[in-house]
């Protein structure tokens, strides 16, 4: 089905262009017109692939989520098999923070997407679904680690999951240079070491 592949490739090229615009110039510049210019297509061509800014953003966020998942998968492949859940969480958290260029671009897209979603019910639904899914994955890891005695049994799996996800709060601190990447990673490690400390 060469036509469909072509269509998908073109959409990905446009998502890449949107990504570059957001990363380099910021969210407010990410209009259909500006993205068309960056992608080297006409506004009409862009609109053939994405009927609205919202449709373009939704596709771009799926694309960002896929790329983040790929980075996590590659990170997990470097661990001893089967990996320790602490190391899995470390890889997941590290890829969610803007610690290197690719993760930084993803992180900026996500932050902009969340802000836009607050005022767009369709984006909001999609963003909520994505986050719920991510949360469920982390909660599964936490529950398994509790069941296996790697996290103390008196820890509440839901609260621990929420606190782990809240560590993405390092994002603005890293972006504005208030916390250095090394310090953020040290804090995440310290946090995970305490979570996985021997049970009482």
Residue 93 and residue 69 in contact, taking contact as beta carbons nearer than 8 Å: no
> CA-to-CA distance for 142 and 136, rounded, in angstroms?
10
DSSP character string of 79-101: S-SSPPHHHHHHHHHHHHS--SH
Cβ 175 to a copy of itself shortest distance, Å: 6
* 84-87: Cβ within 8 A, 24+ apart: 84/150, 85/141, 85/142, 85/144, 85/145, 85/148, 85/150, 85/196, 86/145, 86/150, 86/192, 86/193, 86/195, 86/196
Under the binding rule (CB under 8 A), the answer on residue 152 touching a copy of itself is: no
Under the binding rule (CB under 8 A), the answer on residue 184 touching a copy of itself is: yes
Binder among 2, 3, 5, 28 for a copy of itself (CB under 8 A):
28
> CA-to-CA distance for 50 and 76, rounded, in angstroms?
34
150 DSSP assignment: S
Under the binding rule (CB under 8 A), the answer on residue 25 touching a copy of itself is: yes
Stretch that binds a copy of itself, among 32-40, 58-66, 137-145, 161-169 (CB under 8 A): 161-169
The sign one gets for the Cα dihedral 105, 110, 113, 114 is negative
Binder among 13, 51, 77, 131 for a copy of itself (CB under 8 A):
131
| Total site size for a copy of itself, rule CB under 8 A | 47
Cβ 150 to a copy of itself shortest distance, Å: 18
Looking at the Cβ atoms of 87 and 139, the one nearer to a copy of itself is 139
Map residues 83-122 to x or -, x wherever contact with a copy of itself holds by CB under 8 A: -------------------------x--xx-xxxxxxx--
Under the binding rule (CB under 8 A), the answer on residue 183 touching a copy of itself is: yes
Contact positions toward a copy of itself, by CB under 8 A? 24-28, 108, 111-112, 114-120, 124, 127-128, 131-132, 135, 156, 158-159, 162-163, 165-173, 175-179, 183-184, 186-187, 190-191, 194
């Amino acid at each position: 089905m060469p036509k469909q592949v072509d269509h998908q490739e073109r959409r990905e090229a446009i998502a890449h262009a949107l990504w570059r615009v957001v990363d380099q110039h910021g969210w407010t510049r990410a209009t259909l017109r500006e993205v068309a210019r960056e992608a080297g297509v006409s506004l009409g061509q862009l609109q053939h692939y994405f009927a609205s800014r919202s449709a373009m953003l939704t596709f771009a966020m799926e694309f960002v989520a896929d790329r983040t998942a790929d980075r996590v998968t590659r990170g997990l492949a470097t661990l001893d098999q089967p990996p320790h859940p602490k190391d899995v969480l470390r890889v997941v958290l590290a890829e969610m923070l803007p610690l290197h260029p690719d993760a930084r671009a993803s992180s900026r897209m996500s932050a902009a997407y969340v802000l836009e979603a607050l005022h767009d019910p369709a984006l909001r639904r999609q963003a909520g679904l994505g986050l719920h899914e991510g949360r469920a994955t982390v909660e599964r890891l936490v529950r398994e680690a509790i069941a296996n005695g790697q996290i103390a049994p008196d820890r509440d799996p839901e609260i621990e999951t929420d606190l782990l996800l809240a560590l993405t709060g390092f994002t603005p601190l890293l972006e504005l240079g208030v916390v250095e990447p090394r310090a953020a990673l040290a804090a995440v490690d310290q946090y995970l070491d305490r979570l996985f400390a021997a049970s009482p």
